[in-house]
């Protein structure tokens, strides 16, 4: 297919049907418990049509829009990592008989997902997780199984959230790659349609089965305007100039102590972060003692146990745990994986119960670059 195409609002459900026809479990935004989350969607009715979200440091509210926008909000507490890198997963099961031990990989659920409504920051988060869990020397089999059958329908944001800073991180708002199809929602003067870009052969194959027509120049221009406007509406900014080295040379900055006074070390930021990948494992047995299982769960660098070695926790203070988290996202991640671990989605800012704002903390450190904490 050449150029962009138009998918009418009324035909969006056709796209859903085709995806279902291909055997995909379609994951889309849906309204639940006062938040827009990601879950299985069957029809357009499952989408939060006419809703938006209002976000700021430590606050999140869902609100009615005055129109019927399907994607008129940004990102909620969920990210796609719960599907690719599940919060709880069995890695293997073992049996013991007559002094022998047999260990077998727990069969993967084998889910074939289509993500419908993935924002540019989400696609970048996926790319970041790919580097960590998929493209290294030891690809994670759980992640790989889902990743390899993934179909992605991106959506260009038509609205920036109060805690968004993808423009600063170079991760949005325009989805430029990493999708099979991308949609830009356009409304006005009685029209309501999606400008569609095809990003892969598979995307083209699927889209050919959905009613559509070629976009004209005005329609394409309208879509470009939507994205350009959003880029100017970012709720937050983060100066990334020299960021890694700036943080490395400020490991003993007094700001960490100030953060410590507010940080509850609850780990919310790590749970909502679309790139945080840390896990722990629990080895369990059944009552007979002949069956064992290793279960992997998400872990957080904010717990004391996280860095435990014999004798105690390496990061005993909350300040050192926040420092670990933030410097990992914005500095050491670059050394480890060639990219920052932050995509500017703003979730950690929104979902922090005390409203600690990573962009504000970076600004605070930068402002007194080189200051030293009086405490050892």
Q: How far is the CB of 160 from other proteins (least distance, A)?
A: 30
Interacting residue with other proteins among 246, 301, 342, 358 (CB under 8 A): 301
Chain positions 196 to 255 lying near other proteins, rule: CB under 8 A, are 248, 251-252
Q: Between 33 and 100, whose beta carbon lies closer to other proteins? A: 100
Residues 6+ apart with CB under 8 A from 132: 275, 277, 337
Residue with smaller CB distance to other proteins, 207 or 322: 322
**Among 193, 194, 198, 205, which residue's Cα sits nearest to residue 181?**
198
CA distance 292 to 64: 50
DSSP-derived secondary structure letter, 199:
-
Interior CA angle at 81 toward 77 and 83, to 5°?
105
d(CA 134, CA 145): 10
Q: Which of 271, 273, 274 is nearest to 299 (CA)?
A: 271
Q: Rule CB under 8 A: say whether 88 interacts with other proteins.
A: no
To the nearest whole angstrom, how small is the minimum distance from the Cβ of residue 84 to other proteins? Answer: 13
Told to check if 316 binds other proteins by CB under 8 A, we report: yes
Binding residues for other proteins restricted to 254-283, rule: CB under 8 A: 277-281, 283
Cα torsion angle, 341, 294, 93, 86, sign: negative
One residue of 35, 44, 49, 94 binding other proteins per CB under 8 A: 94
Q: Does 371 bind other proteins (CB under 8 A)?
A: no
- Would you say 169 and 210 are in contact if contact means Cβ atoms under 8 Å apart? no
Q: Which of 103, 228, 371, 372 binds other proteins (CB under 8 A)?
A: 103
Strands 151-156 and 181-188: parallel
Give the residue with the Cβ less far from other proteins, 22 or 92.
92
R_g (Cα) of the chain, nearest Å: 22
Q: Is 82 in the site for other proteins (CB under 8 A)?
A: no
DSSP run (H or E) holding 155 = strand 151-156
In the shown chain, the binding pattern of residues 336 to 355 toward other proteins, with x for contact by CB under 8 A and - for none, equals x-------------------
Among 148, 189, 201, 218, binds other proteins (CB under 8 A): 148
CA distances from 341 to 36, 179, 231 (A): 24, 20, 21
- Which of 294, 363, 364, 373 touches other proteins (CB under 8 A)? 294
User: Which residue in 306, 347, 361, 366 binds other proteins (CB under 8 A)?
Assistant: 306
Residue count, binding to other proteins (CB under 8 A):
60
Nearest to 15 by CA among 148, 190, 174, 205: 205
> Looking at residue 49, what DSSP letter applies?
T
Contact residues: other proteins, CB under 8 A? 91-92, 94, 96, 99-105, 132-133, 136-141, 144-145, 148, 248, 251-252, 277-281, 283-285, 289, 292, 294, 299, 301, 306-317, 320, 323-324, 327-328, 331-332, 335-336, 376
């Amino acid at each position: 297919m050449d150029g962009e195409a138009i998918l009418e609002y009324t035909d969006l459900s056709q796209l859903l049907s085709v995806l279902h026809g291909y055997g995909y479990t379609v994951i889309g935004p849906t309204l639940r418990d006062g938040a827009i989350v990601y879950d299985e969607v069957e029809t357009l009715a499952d989408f939060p049509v006419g809703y938006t979200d209002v976000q700021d440091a430590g606050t999140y509210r869902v609100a009615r829009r005055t129109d019927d926008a399907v994607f008129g909000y940004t990102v909620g507490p969920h990210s796609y990592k719960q599907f690719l890198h599940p919060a709880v997963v069995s890695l293997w099961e073992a049996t013991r008989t007559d002094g022998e031990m047999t260990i077998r990989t727990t069969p993967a659920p084998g889910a074939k997902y289509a993500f419908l409504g993935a924002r540019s920051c989400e696609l970048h988060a996926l790319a970041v997780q790919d580097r960590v869990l998929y493209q290294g020397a030891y690809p994670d089999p759980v992640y790989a199984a889902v990743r390899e059958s993934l179909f992605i329908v991106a959506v260009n944001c038509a609205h920036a959230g109060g805690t968004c800073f993808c423009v600063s991180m170079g991760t949005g708002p325009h989805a430029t790659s990493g999708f099979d199809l991308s949609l830009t929602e356009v409304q006005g003067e009685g029209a309501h349609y999606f400008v569609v870009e095809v990003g892969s052969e598979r995307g083209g194959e699927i889209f050919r089965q959905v009613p559509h027509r070629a976009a004209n120049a005005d329609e394409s221009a309208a879509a470009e305007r939507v994205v350009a406007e959003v880029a100017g509406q970012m709720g937050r900014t983060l100066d990334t100039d020299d960021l890694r080295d700036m943080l490395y040379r400020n490991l003993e900055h007094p700001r960490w102590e100030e953060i410590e006074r507010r940080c509850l070390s609850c780990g919310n930021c790590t749970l909502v972060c679309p790139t945080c990948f840390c896990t722990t494992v629990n080895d369990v047995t059944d009552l007979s003692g002949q069956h064992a299982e290793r279960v992997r769960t998400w872990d957080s660098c904010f717990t004391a146990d996280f860095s435990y070695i014999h004798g105690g926790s390496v990061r005993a203070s909350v300040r050192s745990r926040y420092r670990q988290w933030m410097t990992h996202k914005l500095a050491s991640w670059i050394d480890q994986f060639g990219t920052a671990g932050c995509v500017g989605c703003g979730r950690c800012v929104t979902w922090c119960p005390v409203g600690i704002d990573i962009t504000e903390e970076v600004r605070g450190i930068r402002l007194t670059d080189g200051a030293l904490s009086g405490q050892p």
